[in-house]
């Protein structure tokens, strides 16, 4: 069946965070002003390391996107994908994705970032996506995540629920933060910040320019 290659997005495929810039891109000006006021204590706690990245993301979506029409936010996500992401995606990361594709591997982005822009980017490359999805009811965003924030153990859980890992010859995983550790633990070939960790198979290491 070939191999499975799991890629974190922000900080691994990209050189920078994409979640905050998308929020700044998509949130309406009046809501942005309110959000800066309401979220200032949470932002301060996040910078001090008291609030987790997951909680920060949930708070930003709750304040910034609740009540918006889902179609409007998805349109903003498509625009963001097509006009902004190319500027932060690493050329070497794209090279590694394409290398996997030429080997016939199943390539998956597994990310805490949002479906409204990642789906467009992944579709353009012909790769699978597991990520945080915005919940909607009757076409209106609730300000919550459908199934929760896709980070930490949730990344691993969703991968296991979609793919039968034992069917693959090798499982590669690429990450760059502690939120990726559970996903990395699923793999036989683990890359943390583009350095391969000790292997669990006897296959020679593939040279990397990353």
pLDDT tens per residue across all 210 residues of the chain:
799 999 999 999 999 999 999 999 999 887 777 777 777 887 788 887 888 999 999 999 999 999 999 999 999 999 999 999 999 999 999 999 999 999 999 999 999 999 999 999 999 999 999 999 999 999 999 999 999 999 999 999 999 999 999 999 999 999 999 999 999 999 999 999 999 998 754 444 443 434
Give the model's pLDDT for residue 200. 53
* Residues 61, 59: Cα–Cα separation, whole Å: 5
**The two three-digit tokens of residue 38, written as one number:** 């309401």
Structural domain includes residue 201: no
Give the model's pLDDT for residue 32. 78
C-alpha neighbours within 13 Å on the C-beta side of residue 201? 13
Beta-ladder partners of 206? none
Range of the domain at 147: 4-196
In terms of phi and psi (left: phi > 0; alpha: psi -120 to 50; beta: otherwise), the region of 208 is: beta
Structural domain includes residue 203: no
Structural domain includes residue 122: yes
Q: What is the CATH number of the domain that holds 156?
A: 3.40.50.1000
Residue pointed to by tokens 């633990």: 185
Structural domain includes residue 75: yes
Structural domain includes residue 205: no
Which burial class, exposed, middle or buried, applies to 35 when counting CB atoms under 10 A from its CB (0-12, 13-18, 19+)? buried
Structural domain includes residue 202: no
* Residues 150, 142: Cα–Cα separation, whole Å: 17
Structural domain includes residue 210: no
Measured on CA atoms in the order 57, 113, 118, 147, is the torsion positive or negative? negative
**The two three-digit tokens of residue 207, written as one number:** 């040279």
DSSP string, 112-131: EEEHHHHHHHHHHHT-EEEE
Number of domains in the chain: 1
């Amino acid at each position: 069946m070939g191999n499975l290659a799991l890629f974190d997005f922000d900080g691994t495929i990209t050189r920078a965070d994409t979640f905050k810039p998308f929020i700044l891109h998509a949130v309406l000006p009046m809501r942005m002003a309110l959000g800066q006021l309401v979220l200032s204590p949470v932002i301060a706690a996040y910078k001090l390391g008291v609030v987790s990245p997951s909680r920060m993301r949930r708070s930003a979506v709750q304040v910034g996107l609740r009540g918006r029409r889902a179609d409007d936010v998805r349109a903003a996500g498509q625009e963001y994908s097509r006009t902004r992401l190319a500027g932060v995606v690493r050329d070497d990361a794209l090279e590694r994705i394409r290398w996997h594709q030429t080997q016939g591997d199943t390539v998956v982005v597994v990310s805490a970032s949002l479906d409204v822009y990642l789906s467009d980017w992944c579709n353009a490359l012909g790769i699978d996506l597991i990520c945080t999805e915005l919940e909607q009811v009757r076409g209106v965003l609730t300000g919550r995540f459908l199934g929760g924030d896709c980070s930490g153990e949730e990344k691993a859980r969703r991968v296991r629920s979609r793919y039968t890992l034992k069917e693959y010859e090798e499982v590669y995983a690429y990450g760059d933060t502690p939120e990726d550790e559970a996903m990395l633990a699923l793999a036989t070939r683990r890359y943390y910040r583009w350095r391969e960790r000790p292997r669990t198979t006897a296959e020679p290491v593939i040279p990397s320019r990353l």
